[in-house]
Amino acid sequence: GAGVSQSPSNKVTEKGKDVELRCDPISGHTALYWYRQRLGQGLEFLIYFQGNSAPDKSGLPSDRFSAERTGESVSTLTIQRTQQEDSAVYLCASSLDRGLVETQYFGPGTRLLVL
Amino acid sequence: AQSVAQPEDQVNVAEGNPLTVKCTYSVSGNPYLFWYVQYPNRGLQFLLKYITGDNLVKGSYGFEAEFNKSQTSFHLKKPSALVSDSALYFCAVRDASGNTPLVFGKGTRLSVIA
């Protein structure tokens, strides 16, 4: 594929429901990141995966948030019992590896609205 | 802890004029610095990065940025703005000495007026 893809592009859900967001990184990229972008705010780091290493979950805001990644491919971000403050754009990025100088390539994001 | 400040929420500039989008940072060690751009309804795109070496970094679409260690700044510049440059610009920093995530600023919205 040409770039990072995310689905769905938009998601509207009711408070208390669970949602699952998907990210397909660029083929061959071993590092994968999830960010949250609230309206008018910068990007907030959530979690990253690097190969088979344990993920860095230091940015997850609560235990309602979790993410998985299958090998070096698809990742899913799950938000359980959604709250209105979870409304945001969720961005996924990938890079060749977790090297500090590597450029991250971003997907178009999933816009989540919790009613 | 590392942080990034983009002091201007909005920058307006006339087409053809030079533009500057400001960024200052704070890290405990040496910084790795990045600029990304977000066009409407599109994902973030990498513009340029400073890792080491020449303080003036040239990137995509005619943009450049100057690393100034004494002022802890990494301002984004372009000699002649285009209407198509109108977008949201994010500065980001990572501490070169630590294994920490990239930290982004809140973004600056650039409007180039014809």
Interatomic CA distance for residues B38 and A75, integer angstroms: 23
Mutate to test the interface with B, among A101, A105, A110, A111 (most CBs of B within 10 A): A101
Q: Domain extents for chain B?
A: 3-113
Write out the two tokens for B65: 């940025």
Cβ–Cβ contact B60 with A under 8 A: no
Cβ–Cβ contact B77 with A under 8 A: no
Nearest CA among A15, A7, A34 for reference residue A113: A15
pLDDT digit string (tens) for chain A, length 115 residues: 579 999 999 999 999 999 999 999 999 888 899 999 998 788 899 998 988 888 889 899 999 999 999 877 899 999 999 999 999 999 999 988 766 567 889 999 999 999 9
Q: At the top level of CATH, which class does the domain B3-113 belong to?
A: mainly beta
pLDDT digit string (tens) for chain B, length 114 residues: 789 999 999 999 999 999 999 999 999 888 999 999 998 877 789 999 999 889 999 998 999 999 999 999 999 999 999 999 999 999 999 888 766 778 899 999 999 999
Q: Domain extents for chain A?
A: 23-96
Domain A23-96 part of CATH 1.20.1250.20: no
